[in-house]
Amino acid sequence: MAQQRKKLFIKTYGCQMNVYDSERMRDVLAPLGYEPADEPDGADLVILNTCHIREKAAEKVYSELGRLRPHKDAKAGTKDPMTIAVAGCVAQAEGEEIMRRAPVVDLVVGPQTYHKLPELIAQTHRARGERLETEFEPVAKFDALAGDRAVEGYSAFLTVQEGCDKFCTFCVVPYTRGAEWSRPVDQITAEARMLASKGVREITLLGQNVNAFHGAPPSGREADGPWGLAKLLRHLSLIGGLDRIRYTTSHPNDMDDELIAAHGDLECLMPYLHLPVQSGSDKILHAMNRKHTIESYARVIEKVRAARPDIAISGDFIVGFPGETDKDFEDTMQAVREINYASAFSFKYSRRPGTPGASLPLQVDDTIASERLAHLQALLTEQQTAFNRSQIGMRLPVLFEKKGRLAGQLHGRSPYLQSLHCEAPAELIGQIAEVTITDASQNSLTGRLDAKVDAA
Ligand code: SAM
Ligand code: SF4
């Protein structure tokens, strides 16, 4: 008997790991007949894949649940009622609270139990009762999710590591994603090969602390002991068809010499490094429990630049952490001036219940934090624009990913992860071609197509 098609709408909040997890949820639900839908209206299953990193992100989920209520009411009493699930880090951190505050929710599922979604949904359908699935079992999760996966486009994420043991005092990740854990190299390699066989040209290895990767070695190499990220990158670089590899997000203390050397000699490792620093003040870094100083961070950047002089450096910053004075903030501004970023993400400190930072004295006034953020962002924007403009006149290999906004245009990415638009034939989608940069703004480059570099 033909399986009844059902509509699945997933809304993803937060980081790339959540984007990856949403894709995996789509994959595990496809055999149950769920097909992706672009909007919640009429959907049989709505999943909000949530982020808990800042308070605003968590509150957005409750607002969205309010907006979903009429959609759910419209299907109530029909033979296909709507099921609403909350997944991700808010689910992990506030499972019971969600059920209490938002009765519209049928199911709460934490990041390590997505492989059980089909079973949980079946149970919900049967009982229409509440289920809480938020225990940590990363091994089981990846075993069950590792098989074939649907692939869209030519650039894909691949999670290699999850969780974190570093316990920065502002961060919820160690509580929502659990202890640091790495997937075995063989499993990652199989997934990367599968992606390449489906036409993927670029993979981004993901992890909350991706450069702390220490996965079980491939079979036959057990004597090596756990492999670090540098070995993994070299291994994956041998897979035919994968022209570009990236990784994110890294911690400065885990940038070892082997990984830095890989930036110098692995051609497919793209010249872009996202290395969060958070603050330029040693006093604040200490209060954040970052376990690095601004000087040790700057030394890492210096070594990476020595290995790969053209590398684009990106970072994360938090302003307004408890105890941050004008002087501490000026130290951050000075660090940014000295390091010179190609791109960056900057945030106002968000007090997360349960983290040590939430109970620190000297919480910074919100107006002051907003002013500091505006200053920092103005400087970072200036640097990003200057970096982009420095490439005018250069020829860069661009991976074309999709059609651009204007007719006849394609959108692609430079090796430095910049967005690029250029007039080019649609046959170039999925291929790498050389482009001369003709103009640049804060967020993107414009170019003129030169010779095509290779064919897929
Ligand atoms: N593991 C990475 C590292 O070591 O820096 C960071 C991963 S974290 C999931 C992503 C970014 O969110 C952080 O670098 C930080 O800048 C920001 N972030 C985390 N918690 C925050 C908070 N409570 N308030 C504001 N920003 C926060
Ligand atoms: Fe959060 Fe990154 Fe610190 Fe881990 S290292 S606690 S993920 S900010």
pLDDT tens per residue, the chain (456 residues)?
344 678 999 999 988 888 989 998 888 888 777 899 999 998 999 999 998 878 887 788 899 999 999 999 998 888 788 999 999 988 888 888 888 888 899 889 888 777 778 778 877 776 654 344 555 456 666 666 556 677 788 999 999 999 888 889 999 888 888 788 999 999 999 999 999 999 999 999 999 999 999 999 999 999 999 999 999 999 999 999 999 999 999 999 999 999 999 999 999 999 999 999 999 999 999 999 999 999 999 999 999 999 999 999 999 999 999 999 999 999 999 999 999 999 999 999 999 887 889 888 888 999 999 999 999 999 999 999 999 999 999 999 999 999 998 999 999 999 999 999 999 999 999 999 999 999 999 999 999 998 654 543
- Of all atoms in ligand 2, which is nearest to the CA of residue 208? 7
Question: Which conformational region is residue 353 in: left (phi greater than 0), alpha (psi within -120 to 50 degrees), or beta?
Answer: beta
Ligand 2 binding pocket includes 322 (Cβ within 6 Å): no
Cα–Cα dist 365/116, whole Å: 43
> What is the whole-number distance in angstroms between the Cα of residue 168 and the centre of ligand 2?
5
Of the candidates 381, 382, 448, 393, the one whose C-alpha atom is nearest the C-alpha of residue 420 is: 448
Ligand 1 binding pocket includes 113 (Cβ within 6 Å): no
- Report the pLDDT value the prediction gives residue 129, as an integer from 0 to 100: 41
Rounded (5°) CA angle 95-11-213: 75
Ligand 1 binding pocket includes 423 (Cβ within 6 Å): no
- Report the pLDDT value the prediction gives residue 149, as an integer from 0 to 100: 72
317, HSE (Cβ side, Cα atoms, 13 Å): 29
Cα–Cα dist 451/218, whole Å: 39
Ligand 1 binding pocket includes 297 (Cβ within 6 Å): no
Ligand 2 binding pocket includes 278 (Cβ within 6 Å): no
> The tokens 């403009």 sit on which residue?
389
Cα–Cα dist 197/44, whole Å: 32
Question: Which conformational region is residue 96 in: left (phi greater than 0), alpha (psi within -120 to 50 degrees), or beta?
Answer: alpha
- Report the pLDDT value the prediction gives residue 456, as an integer from 0 to 100: 38
- Report the pLDDT value the prediction gives residue 113, as an integer from 0 to 100: 79
Ligand 1 binding pocket includes 373 (Cβ within 6 Å): no
Smallest-distance ligand from the CA of 347: 1
Cα–Cα dist 244/296, whole Å: 29
- Report the pLDDT value the prediction gives residue 407, as an integer from 0 to 100: 92
Q: Which helix (H) or strand (E) holds 61?
A: helix 55-75
Identity of the amino acid at 416: Y
3-state helix, strand, coil in the chain (%, to 5): 40, 25, 35
> What is the whole-number distance in angstroms between the Cα of residue 362 and the centre of ligand 1?
20
- Report the pLDDT value the prediction gives residue 141, as an integer from 0 to 100: 66
Cα–Cα dist 262/443, whole Å: 28
Neighbours of 177 (CB within 10 A): 25
Ligand 2 binding pocket includes 210 (Cβ within 6 Å): no
User: 319 phi and psi, to 5 degrees?
Assistant: -110, 155
> The tokens 């074939």 sit on which residue?
148
**Partners of 158 in the β-ladder:** 205
Peptide bond into 169 cis (omega under 30): no
* Tokens, residue 337: 């001036």
- Report the pLDDT value the prediction gives residue 150, as an integer from 0 to 100: 73
- Report the pLDDT value the prediction gives residue 344, as an integer from 0 to 100: 97
| Residue-wise DSSP of 98-148 | HHHH-TT--EEE-TT-GGGHHHHHHHHHHH---EEE----HHHHHHHH-S-
